[in-house]
Amino acid sequence: MILPSDLLWSERPTPSYRRTVSTCPLSPETAVAVEEKPEVGFRYLGPPMSGPSSIVQRWQSASRYGQGTMTTRRTTGPQGHAVESALSPSGDASLPFYLEIFSGLPMGVVVLHLENPKDVRSFRIMDLNPATASLTGSTLEDFRGKTLAEFPMLLKTPFSNGCLDALHTRKPKNLGEISYGDQRIRQGIYSVQVFPLSGNFLGVVFENVTERHRSQQVLRESEERFRLLVQAVREYAIFQLDPLGHVVSWNSGAERLKGYRVEEILGRHFSVFYPPEDVTSGKPEQILAQAAQRGQSEVEGWRIRKDGSRFWASVVVTALRNAKGSLQGFAKVTRDMTERHGKDETLAKAKQLLELRAEQRNAVLVRVNQELRIEIGERERAEGQFKASLDQLRALAARLQSVREEERTSIAREIHDELGQACTAIKMDLALIGRKATKRQTQLRTKVDSAIRLVDEMIVTLRRIASELRPRTLDDLGLTAALEGHAQEFESRTGIRCHLSLPRESLALDSERSTAIFRIFQESLTNVARHAHATRVEARLEREADHVLFQVHDNGRGFDPGEAKARRSLGLVGMQERALLLNGELKVEGVPGAGTTMTVRIPLPPAPPPGQGLR
């Protein structure tokens, strides 16, 4: 790739006064000052060179691909004076090549002209490439023809003095990285180099290195966090070795485990941690060679602390290589396993002792085996009895549920028939008393009206109690009507929207299944009102092959089913028992903050034989 640093302007011995395309207007004085300037040469110097001065060095080498010219002249007429500049090769055929290079450079290139040698603010922008606008977040029109006087904040940076210095000394100057931003130029960090051209012309090449700085900062912070993490580990000795095995880093865990301070161990060979016999046999070098060959080496053995004491260590040595595969050193992680090693030796001795006593214990094991067989038989019988007891309890629970439903039905009917009729009679009597009271008996009429209201409220309460005990719609109109009625009553009572989805076709269920599903629905809505803090409840009833599915979901705060199970919630236990009594399954799924879903599946009774219908 050709960089702007590969271009060079230098004076040519033969003057030329060609008129080229105008790039920016200048003042008449400036136009006269730059009129009749000798032509300058344009050179391509090949691939970029390393080092900060490579940009200018390639501008000062010999040309191999042809020469270009930069010409300036004064124009007259009603348009005023102007200076016209352009890059053009000596041969017209190569002109698009150089213009394409200048326009396609990924870094910003700006040509400045000093109009007043005594005033740095008189530097005027003569030409610039498109990358200048994209890197600064501006447009070419925002820069072309402007002077440094129009960038007052830029004059406060080292840029202006650096330009003057490069122009006066006729030597390129690396201005380093400048943090800058104003109304025209996007805030960022720019790497800037300037170099003199012909006369009072100056070239500026820059890059926006803001992202690079940000990436370097992130990398430094990551490395610092990793360093702090390694330094904070005290259970493991973590340190690095150079390719020859000398210690180059040391963490607090290594200091605690081996006893050496950082200043005492850095630069020393890691063989100081090995017993003399291992050093003599070359074991440290063998471990490094194995890690370098295989990438990692894992060994266990005795190691020596600074005070001469020994400990059994588990060591992992990992070879560190760069992107090219060159060995940069080793990472070494050591853990004190003395306690475990002692336990291993104890276990080995215990194993030997067990082997010696194995024959003696065979008889004991046979006897214990027989006892276990007897115990297992007793446990199986106990489990059978327990299962039988559980079945009996389930049957008893089912009977209790049935009796309770019957009692609820009986009480609900008595409340509806007896108390309802009594309240109606009382209301009629009160209404009769109110009609017979004269206009002067205002206090009596007020008492009668109050009593009538109390009777109305009592009638509503009795209806609600009777409905909660056993809704008439469940027996008269079926399960779907009872579910709809209870959902409407729940919504009007609590203000929580309750949407119920029912099957289009009629779902004929027996009394036991209808009652179980209705009671589960009642308990679910009760839990929603008490605990969920929800604003919406969705319930659906549908038939799936030989099962009936009923699901209730709320958008409340949810809960942890494990915690509810640990607390032995009676409501959940009651719903599960109702489902189990019908060989069904009830599942409650809740996520804190995401609502709760209760799903129950109950098998349908087998279809009646042909020719028989439901009674």
- The CATH number assigned to the domain holding 313 equals 3.30.450.20
Residues 22 and 33: their CA atoms lie apart, in Å, by 16
224 lies in some domain: no
Report angle CA 254, 256, 259 to the nearest 5 degrees: 85
Same domain (yes/no): 542, 399: no
Which range is most confident: 204-213, 442-451, 566-575? 204-213
Of the pLDDT bands very low, low, confident and very high (cuts 50, 70, 90), residue 527 is confident
Report the C-alpha dihedral over residues 490, 491, 497, 500, rounded to 10 degrees.
60
What is the tens place of the pLDDT at every residue in 342-363? 788 888 888 888 888 888 878 8
Instruction: Determine the average pLDDT of the residues in 195-199.
Output: 91
pLDDT at 214 over 60: yes
pLDDT at residue number 47: 34
615 lies in some domain: no
pLDDT at residue number 79: 30
Same domain (yes/no): 39, 180: yes
> What is the count of structural domains for the chain?
4
pLDDT at 61 over 80: no
Of the pLDDT bands very low, low, confident and very high (cuts 50, 70, 90), residue 9 is very low
Same domain (yes/no): 515, 423: no
User: Which tokens in the block code for residue 614?
Assistant: 């439901």
What is the tens place of the pLDDT at every residue in 383-394? 888 888 777 776
Same domain (yes/no): 156, 273: no
Of 389, 414, 449, the position where a domain reaches its end is: 449
Same domain (yes/no): 252, 388: no
What is the tens place of the pLDDT at every residue in 289-328? 999 999 999 998 999 999 999 899 999 999 999 988 899 9
Same domain (yes/no): 93, 159: yes
Q: Is 580 left (phi over 0), alpha (psi -120 to 50) or beta?
A: alpha
Say how many CA atoms lie within 13 Å of 263 toward its Cβ.
0
What is the tens place of the pLDDT at every residue in 467-497? 677 677 777 788 888 888 888 888 988 899 9
Residues 201 and 126: their CA atoms lie apart, in Å, by 9
Q: What pTM does this model have? A: 0.34
Q: Which domain holds residue 392?
A: 372-449
Residues 358 and 361: their CA atoms lie apart, in Å, by 5
Q: Per mean pLDDT, which range of 26-35, 127-136, 159-168 is the poorest?
A: 26-35
Determine contact, residues 479/514, Cβ cutoff 8 Å: yes
Residues 212 and 188: their CA atoms lie apart, in Å, by 11
pLDDT at 602 over 50: yes
222 lies in some domain: no
Same domain (yes/no): 478, 444: no
Same domain (yes/no): 161, 56: yes
Determine contact, residues 207/178, Cβ cutoff 8 Å: no
User: Which tokens in the block code for residue 218?
Assistant: 């992130």
Residues 539 and 537: their CA atoms lie apart, in Å, by 7
The pLDDT > 90 percentage for the chain reads 27
264 lies in some domain: yes
pLDDT at residue number 613: 45
Same domain (yes/no): 440, 559: no
221 lies in some domain: no
Burial class (CB in 10 A: 0-12, 13-18, 19+), 257: buried
Same domain (yes/no): 488, 588: yes
Rg (CA), the chain: 48
Same domain (yes/no): 511, 599: yes
Give the domain CATH number at 515. 3.30.565.10
pLDDT at 24 over 60: no
**Mean pLDDT, the chain, as a whole number?**
77
How far are the Cα atoms of 214, 302, 305, 312 from residue 273, in angstroms, in the given order? 42, 9, 7, 11
pLDDT at residue number 6: 40
pLDDT at 552 over 90: yes
The pLDDT > 70 percentage for the chain reads 77
Of 288, 320, 336, the position where a domain reaches its end is: 336
pLDDT at residue number 83: 35
Same domain (yes/no): 106, 27: yes
Say how many CA atoms lie within 13 Å of 101 toward its Cβ.
20
Question: Shortest CA distance to 193 belongs to which of 210, 205, 203, 202?
Answer: 205
Which range is most confident: 19-23, 280-284, 360-364? 280-284
Of the pLDDT bands very low, low, confident and very high (cuts 50, 70, 90), residue 274 is very high
